[in-house]
């Protein structure tokens, strides 16, 4: 058995050395965080006062529910501690500016099967320690609901849209640095 001009790696070498290295490199990519750089070190707390509702929809409790859901998202994220305005390092404020409700899926006979609620929220984020506005943006997202189900079905679409917007606001606030 002589040398045939081609180097071969034996199977134990591959199993013991190469495969574990490849596995570790692949798994390392799974721990990537979607956050950008963290918030500045001087910013530990945030105040989130009740958002205004300037949409004209007249949905009772909409602004309170949105503010509560947004606040709960910040609490669960735990990057910034939610506190009152007097002791906060940062301020997140805004208003629900528009709500549009339109047909999304039309079936036979032009019957509307699904509707889509699109909500836009105007938000500004302030660094109270440095006394400057960090950003001011409009966030818009949508939620679908079954047509013909009344206000309870519409509430499902509104909740879905507001949840998406809340997540977008959180990401912009904690990772936009």
Q: Confirm whether 2 is domain-assigned.
A: no
Q: Does a structural domain hold residue 63? A: yes
- Within 10 Å of residue 39's Cβ, how many Cβ atoms? 21
pLDDT category at 148 given cuts 50, 70, 90 is: confident
Burial 132-171 (b: 16+ CB within 10 A, else e): eebeeeebbbbbbbebeeeeebbbebbbbbbbbbbebbbe
As for how many domains the chain has, the answer is 1
Interatomic CA distance for residues 120 and 165, integer angstroms: 8
The answer on pLDDT for 24 being more than 70 is no
111-139 mean pLDDT: 96
In a domain, 108, yes or no: yes
Q: What is the pLDDT of residues 25-81, one digit of tens each?
A: 444 444 334 444 578 999 999 999 999 999 998 888 999 999 999 999 999 999 999
Per-residue pLDDT at 29: 46
CB 116 within 8 A of CB 144: yes
Going 19 to 20 to 25 to 26, the CA torsion angle's sign is: positive
In a domain, 125, yes or no: yes
Give the pLDDT of residue 30. 44
Question: What is the C-alpha separation between 167 and 172, in angstroms, rounded?
Answer: 9
For residue 22, tell me if it sits in a domain: no
Which of 126, 119, 123 has the alpha carbon at shortest distance from 142? 119
Residue 85, pLDDT score: 96
Residue 31 lies in a domain: no
Q: Token pair of 16, please?
A: 């013991």
Residue 45 phi, psi (nearest 5): -130, 160
Domain hosting 110: range is 39-175
In percent, how much of the chain has pLDDT > 70?
Answer: 79
Q: In terms of pLDDT, which residue wins out, 60 or 126?
A: 126
Residue 147, pLDDT above cutoff 80: yes
Across all residues in the chain, what is the average pLDDT? 85
CATH code: domain of residue 136: 3.30.160.150
| For residue 107, pLDDT beyond 60 | yes
Asked whether residue 9 is domain-assigned, the answer is no
Within-domain flag for 6: no
Mean pLDDT of 156-177: 94
């Amino acid at each position: 058995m002589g040398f045939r001009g081609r180097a071969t790696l034996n199977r134990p070498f591959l199993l013991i050395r190469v495969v574990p290295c490849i596995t570790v490199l692949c798994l390392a990519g799974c721990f990537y965080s979607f956050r950008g750089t963290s918030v500045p070190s001087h910013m530990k707390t945030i105040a989130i006062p009740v958002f205004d509702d300037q949409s004209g929809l007249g949905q009772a409790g909409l602004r309170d529910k949105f503010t509560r859901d947004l606040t709960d998202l910040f609490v669960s994220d735990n990057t910034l501690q939610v506190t009152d305005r007097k002791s906060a390092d940062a301020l997140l404020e805004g208003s629900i500016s528009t709500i549009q409700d339109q047909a999304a899926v039309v079936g036979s006979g032009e019957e509307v099967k699904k509707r889509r609620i699109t909500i836009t929220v105007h938000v500004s984020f302030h660094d109270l320690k440095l006394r400057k506005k960090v950003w001011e943006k409009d966030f818009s997202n949508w939620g679908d609901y079954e047509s013909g189900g009344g206000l309870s079905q519409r509430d499902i679409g509104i909740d879905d849209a507001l949840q998406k917007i809340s997540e977008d606001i959180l990401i912009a606030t904690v990772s936009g640095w």
